[in-house]
Amino acid sequence: MIQSLQNSVFNYIVTGGLPTADDKLHCFLLSEQEGLENLISKFWQLESIEDESLYLNSQPKFCEDHFVNNHRRDQTGHYIVQMAFLKEPSCLGESKQTAIRRLNSLWRKLEASPNLSTVVSKLYS
């Protein structure tokens, strides 16, 4: 009987026959699994990181308080909530003007290049 050792995704596999008086089939499986204690330890490490971030970050409480104090419903039942700012909007500077300039520049590029305009319109349709 020819026996062979093959490297597979499951590690090494021994194949082949054994000379025996009776031809019964046998199948064996040997596997190594990560210890339960190690898995539980990793689980609690992941859980503790998430819990710590909730206590260290005051933004969820700020958002909850803002919603409670600044929401209402319209006639259709939709919620209306005022925009929440952590800092004054004036700290954004001239970002609106910069965005408008960039948008206008993009429109000019699309008008100047019909091929590019076609590609972009196909992309968004």
**Per-residue pLDDT tens over the stretch 25-70:** 778 777 767 777 888 888 777 766 655 555 556 777 888 888 999 9
Following CA atoms 62, 64, 65, 69 in sequence, which dihedral angle do they give, to the nearest 10 degrees?
Answer: 140
Residue 71 lies in a domain: no
User: What does the DSSP 8-state code read for residue 57?
Assistant: -
Residue 39: give the domain boundaries: 3-47
Residue 57 lies in a domain: no
pTM recorded for the entire structure: 0.32
Give helix then strand counts, H and E, for the chain.
4, 4
Residue 15 lies in a domain: yes
Q: Which two tokens stand for residue 10?
A: 């499951």
19 band by pLDDT with thresholds 50, 70 and 90 = low
More confident residue, 120 or 11: 120
Q: Which residues are bridge partners to 6 per DSSP?
A: 13
Residue 25 lies in a domain: yes
Q: What phi, psi does 5 have (nearest 5°)?
A: -115, 120
